[in-house]
């Protein structure tokens, strides 16, 4: 039953008095089913506004847990949610906002094995993921199931927005993610938000715009952002809209594949297997025995100032300009927060400068705080 109840008529009254919106479009929202992939920076504001708007059924896919560092931008969560699964925490908080919306959670990773089954149950998919394998997976699964995609991405001060794979009146489909990016970038060629940072209000802006596009698609009002990419600069408040070429990529999408392999991550994993590592217990022994080695911290300035274990501080972005500071005749231990950035820069140094004496600190300073010194504030 999609008729609005008296309570819903009151709740959505500001929609109902809108010119060209009214009861009919509100009932379309109530009938609709949308899937949010990723309850992070983009997902939080999009989920808040779509729940408030009265979308009938919302699915949330996210296998990650809420971390304290998320709270700077993921406004759906609070301190008490830290450590809980994001999809489950989001459901609980959204139910408080609007009990008339049905929230379904998938506290699991979206993969080639489950994507088609999950996505087939929804009308529109919002892609708020933060990695390329998931973006290509979502795109291909939506192409195969004829589902529209509302896409958003954020990094540092810039956001991107587009609407992919909508069906036209002639039966054809608009451009999709592969028309915009036919080939994925090389692994770690583009930093993620943990490495490069993101302005906290930016995902709020872009996530709200994603919700706006969803409402337009459901109700038919306005003009969806199809075949175009909106680029938003939060520092200048300038926007640039570019046309996405039609590469006819749809015809080549026939099945779901191994997207880690497609994006080169399996090769990266193979390389990481050959990387020399050291545990925090082994590092402590080097320090306690006053061994002759070099310890380098490649985290950002604010991370180093908050907590450090006495290493030389060379932020990751500065390493290429300070190669001379890295010893070549002794063991060098490189660390970051969890081991990802330090592993990346070690591989870059080995490939481009021939280093063979570099060791990655397994688990980074997080492991040090957990196993060696619990007084360190590495939140």
Query: Which candidate in 44, 142, 193, 263 is catalytic?
Result: 193
- Sheet containing 277-278: give its strands across: 277-278, 358-361, 331-335, 293-297, 312-313
Whether residue 336 lies in the annotated active site: yes
**Cα(147)–Cα(139) distance, rounded to whole angstroms?**
9
263 is catalytic: no
Structure tokens at 309: 């274990």
Residue of 44, 142, 263, 336 with catalytic role: 336
Strand-by-strand arrangement of the 57-61 sheet? 102-106, 57-61, 33-37, 124-127, 148-155, 158-164, 228-233, 238-243
Residues 6 or more apart in contact with residue 308 via CB below 8 angstroms: 297, 365
What residues are labeled active site? Answer: 193, 336
């Amino acid at each position: 039953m999609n008729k609005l109840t008296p309570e819903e008529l009151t709740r959505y009254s500001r929609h109902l008095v809108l010119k060209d919106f009214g009861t009919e479009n509100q009932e379309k929202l109530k009938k609709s089913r949308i899937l949010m992939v990723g309850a992070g920076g983009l997902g939080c504001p999009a989920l808040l506004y779509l729940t408030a708007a009265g979308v009938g059924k919302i699915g949330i896919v996210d296998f990650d847990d809420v971390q304290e560092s998320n709270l700077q931008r993921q406004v759906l969560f609070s301190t008490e949610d830290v450590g809980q699964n994001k999809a489950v925490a989001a459901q609980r908080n959204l139910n408080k906002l609007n009990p008339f919306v049905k929230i379904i959670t998938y506290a699991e990773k979206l993969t080639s094995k489950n994507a088609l089954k999950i996505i087939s149950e929804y009308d529109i998919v919002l892609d708020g993921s933060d990695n390329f394998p998931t973006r290509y997976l979502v795109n291909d699964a939506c192409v195969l199931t004829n589902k529209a995609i509302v896409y958003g991405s954020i990094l540092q001060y810039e956001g991107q927005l587009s609407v992919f794979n909508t069906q036209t009146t002639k039966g054809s489909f608009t451009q999709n993610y592969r028309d915009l990016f036919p080939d994925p970038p090389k692994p770690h060629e583009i930093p993620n938000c943990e490495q490069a940072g993101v302005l906290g209000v930016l995902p709020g802006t872009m996530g709200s715009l994603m919700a706006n596009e969803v409402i337009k698609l459901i109700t038919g009002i306005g003009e969806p952002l199809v075949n175009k990419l909106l680029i938003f600069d939060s520092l200048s408040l300038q926007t640039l809209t570019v046309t996405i070429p039609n590469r006819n990529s749809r015809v080549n999408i026939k099945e779901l594949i191994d997207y880690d392999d497609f994006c080169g991550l399996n090769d990266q994993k193979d390389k990481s297997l050959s990387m020399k590592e050291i545990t925090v217990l082994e590092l402590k022994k080097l320090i306690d025995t006053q061994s002759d080695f070099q310890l380098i911290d490649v985290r950002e300035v604010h991370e180093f100032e908050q907590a450090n274990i006495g290493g030389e501080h060379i932020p990751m972005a500065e390493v290429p300009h300070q190669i001379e500071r890295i010893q070549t005749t002794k063991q060098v231990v490189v660390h970051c927060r969890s081991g990802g950035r330090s592993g990346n820069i070690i591989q870059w140094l080995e490939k481009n400068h021939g280093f063979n004496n570099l060791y990655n600190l397994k688990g980074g300073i997080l492991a040090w705080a957990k196993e060696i010194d619990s007084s360190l504030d590495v939140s």
